Amino acid sequence: MEVIKDSSSVGFSQRKKDHIEISLRDESQASLDQFSKIQLQHNAIPEINFADVDLKTQVFGHSLQSPLFISSMTLGHDGAKELNETLMGVSESMGWMMGVGSQRRQLFDPQAFKECESLRARYSKAVVFSNIGLSQIIDSPVADIQALVDSLGAKFLVVHCNPLQEAIQPEGTPQFRGGLKALTTLCEKINVPVVLKETGCGLSEQTFDALKNCGLAAVDVSGLGGTHWGRVEGLRMQSDELGYQVAQTFANWGISTVDSVENGIRSSFDGSLWASGGVRNGLQAAKLLALGAERVGFAQPILVAALQGEGELQKKMLQLDHELKVAMFCLGIADVESLVGKRNLLRWK
């Protein structure tokens, strides 16, 4: 397979545009049926009023109106600023937290800092998190990563790990040796909490155990079930027969979001557990919360709505919150903390 390295910000920008367009295709979705095997137990006499249901929560001391959040999606290309303005503006008004896409471009293009600085200046009250890849923190001084966080005024930093995508992507950086050491050093020296997330392939129990002493504040499992970046990269290079066929071989590679949460519960990792990956509605979010996740992230459904404008995005987020509230009411649960980890409310089919 021919390996192509970016020689300019132009190639980087085009790749990010391709990712957005291809990620919206049906063939990029793993479409794993992972939630039908879990049933929440209906409470016919909930002993609360619907108005009593309150989604308010906190993340690292910052108040939020919902445990649902917008997962990291896009940054660093023409059009990303407008899309992130939509995402950040609505998330600020709705009281959701949100992440930007990878800030990798800022490591080699000083002009890219302006986009993040502009976003933060406009939406000063939004709870936003930074985002950079594990392979980038291995090769970058902590001061450079801190600069990414500062440019966005981020409340915490997400480090994403995507070995499958990097191995398949023609321009990939599949250099992960020393990742645990770099992650531990970063957690020790950076001035915000650090969260590790996968990017659609989930986490094993062994991976959780390996992360125990890194100093992470949380882990987002980002499991198999939604957008699959092995598929996305394969669709980017259909003219490369070898690369395309390899991507097809790994089209269903990964651990489901549900199974990843279970792995986290069984492991020795003692930080906060978050879940994303193929979550499509508030009922599925309620199931993940009852399993033990403390927050639930959405990406593809949010992206689809955001591309239609602020009005559609707000409607989608209101719908997701309302669905979660209905599920909680029908369980007799009035607050999020009382739902998290209440596995006795679940029945496995």
DSSP 2-59: ------SHHHHHHHHHHHHHHHTSGGGB-----STTEEE---S---S-GGG-B--EEE
Long-range contacts (CB closer than 8 Å, 24 or more residues apart) made by 307-313: 307/83, 309/86, 310/86, 310/89, 310/90, 313/86, 313/87, 313/90
* Local structure of 302: helix, strand or coil: helix
Work out the percent of the chain whose per-residue pLDDT is above 70. 93
Instruction: Look at residue 12 and tell me whether its pLDDT is greater than 80.
Output: no
Q: What is the pLDDT of residues 160-182, one digit of tens each?
A: 999 999 999 888 889 999 999 99
Asked whether the beta carbons of 194 and 145 are under 8 A apart, the reply is no
Structure tokens at 241: 């027969």
- Report pLDDT for 241: 85
* Rounded Cα distance, 68 and 50, in Å: 19
CATH of domain 42-348: 3.20.20.70
* pLDDT band, very low/low/confident/very high, at 7 (cuts 50, 70, 90): very low
Element of type H or E holding 131: strand 127-133
As given in the structure block, the two tokens for residue 91 are: 């998330």
List % helix, strand, coil for the chain (3-state, nearest 5). Answer: 45, 15, 40
CA distance 264 to 93: 32
State the average pLDDT over residues 318-336. Answer: 98
Rounded mean pLDDT of the chain? Answer: 91
Q: What is the pLDDT of residue 172?
A: 87
Question: In this predicted model, what pLDDT tens digit does every residue of 198-227 receive, in sequence order?
Answer: 999 999 999 999 999 999 999 999 999 988
Mean pLDDT over residues 278-286, rounded?
Answer: 97
Q: What is the mean pLDDT of residues 42-54?
A: 98
Per-residue pLDDT at 38: 95
Position 89 pLDDT exceeds 90: yes
b/e burial code for range 124-141 (CB count within 10 A of at least 16 → b): eebbbbbbbbbbbbbebe
The pLDDT of 232-247, averaged and rounded, is: 85
Inform me whether the pLDDT recorded for 76 exceeds 70: no
Q: Could you tell me the end-to-end alpha-carbon distance of the chain, in angstroms, rounded to an integer?
A: 44
* All residues at 6 or more sequence positions from 26 whose CB lies less than 8 Å from its CB, including other chains: none
**Residue 23: which pLDDT band, with cuts at 50, 70 and 90?**
confident
pLDDT, position 29: 84
- Under 8 Å between Cβ of 99 and 129: yes
Using an 8 Å Cβ cutoff, are 112 and 49 in contact? Answer: no
In this prediction, residues 6-28 reach a mean pLDDT of 63
Angle between helices 282-291 and 310-329 (to 10 degrees): 50
Distance of alpha carbon 177 from alpha carbon 261, whole angstroms: 25
Mean per-residue pLDDT, 185-202 = 97
Question: What is the pTM for the complete model shown?
Answer: 0.92
